[in-house]
Amino acid sequence: MKILTATALLFAIALPASAQVGPAYSNRVTKNLTYGNVCTAQGSSSLSIRSGPGKSYRVLKQVSNGTGLSFNGSQYGKDGFQWLRTSSNGRRGWVRSDYICEPECAG
C-alpha cells in the first residue's frame, strides 16, 4: 500500500501544469501571445475576465466565444495555469490562457 501511495504521489508531482484537463483548444496557446480569440469548448459559452491571475479572483466581465483580445503580459497562477493580462472596454484583468487560441486557429 505504501508503494502504491508513493507512486501516485510521485506521478502527481511529475505531471506538468499543461497536463491538466482544460478546454478543447489548450494546445494552441503560445506563451508570448499578444493577441488571440476566446476559444471555449462550447461555441455559445463565454470566458471570465478576472481581477487577478487565478480562479479565486472575482469576475469583472464575461466575454463571448470568438471575441478578440489583446494581451500585455502573463504569469502562472497558484492554480498552475498560465494567465494572460488583458483589457476589454476599459476593464483590465486576467484570462486563463488555455481558453485563448491564436487568431489563425479560431473558428
Tell me if 63 is assigned to some domain.
yes
- For the whole model, what pTM was predicted? 0.67
Domain range for residue 92?
23-105
User: How do residues 24-75 score in pLDDT, each as one tens digit?
Assistant: 444 444 457 788 999 988 777 899 999 999 999 999 999 999 999 999 999 9
Tell me if 13 is assigned to some domain.
no
Tell me if 11 is assigned to some domain.
no
Alpha-carbon distances, residue 37 vs 8, 9, 75 (angstroms)? 37, 36, 18
User: How do residues 83-94 score in pLDDT, each as one tens digit?
Assistant: 999 987 777 999
Tell me if 37 is assigned to some domain.
yes
Burial 61-80 (b: 16+ CB within 10 A, else e): eebebeeebebeebeebeee
Q: Which three cell numbers stand for residue 18?
A: 499543461
Q: How far apart are CA 84 and CA 31, in angstroms?
A: 9
- The total domain count for the chain is 1
Tell me if 31 is assigned to some domain.
yes
CATH number of the domain enclosing 39? 2.30.30.40
Tell me if 86 is assigned to some domain.
yes
